[in-house]
Amino acid sequence: MSNYPVVVGRFEYIDIVDILGAIPSKVDTGAKRSSIHATHIRVVEQDGKSVLKFILLGHPAYDKSYELTTDSFTMIKVKSSNGHISNRYKVNLKIKIGYKIFNASFTLADRSGNVFPVLVGREALRRRFIVDPDRTGVKRSEIKLVLDKVPCNEIVEGGDV
C-alpha cells in the first residue's frame, strides 16, 4: 500500500482488526489523543502480573462489544478542552481506517454520552491522513440514526480528549 496520506472526512468507519468492524468514529484534529468507549475497566492479577481487563464498545451507536485483556497498558492524565483533568488507561489497538492498517494508542473512556463511540485524534492521524471537513465516510442518514440513540442532554462531542 502507499505511504502517501489518505484523505478522510470528519466522520469515518474504523475497524479494530480481527475484533470489531465498521465502528462509526469522529475524526478530530483538535484532539491530541484518540479515545474509545470502554466499560468494566479493571486491573487484575493474572499469572503473577497485573493485566487490564475491559469491555470495548457496547455503545448506544454501536451495540457490539468485546472483552479484552492486555498486559500492555499505562495510566495517563488527560486534559479536556474545558481544563478538566482525569486519569485514563491507555492501550494500543490495531486499527484500519480506509486501507491503512496500523497500531494506535487509545484512552479508555465512558463515551456513552457522546454521539460517536470512537474519537480519532491527531496522534493517530499524523503522517497517515489528511482530513477534509467537507467529506464523510458515514452517511448523514446514519449519523441521524446515531443521534437518535444518544440522550440529547448528554451529547458532548468537541474536545473531550
pLDDT tens figures, 1-53: 567 889 999 999 999 999 999 999 999 999 999 999 999 999 999 999 999 99
State the pairing for strand pair 62-70/20-27: unpaired
The maximal CA–CA distance of the chain, rounded, in angstroms, is 51
What would the pLDDT profile of 74-107 be if each residue is shown by its tens digit?
Answer: 999 998 778 889 999 999 999 999 999 999 999 9
Going along the chain from its start, the domains and CATH numbers come out as 6-154 (2.40.70.10)
| pTM exceeds 0.75 for this model | yes
Q: Shortest CA distance to 37 belongs to which of 122, 114, 97, 102?
A: 114
List the alpha helices (DSSP H) in 11-130.
122-125
Question: How many angstroms separate the CA atoms of 103 and 4, rounded?
Answer: 17
In whole angstroms, what separates CA 108 from the centre of its chain? 8
Matching residue, cell 472526512: 9
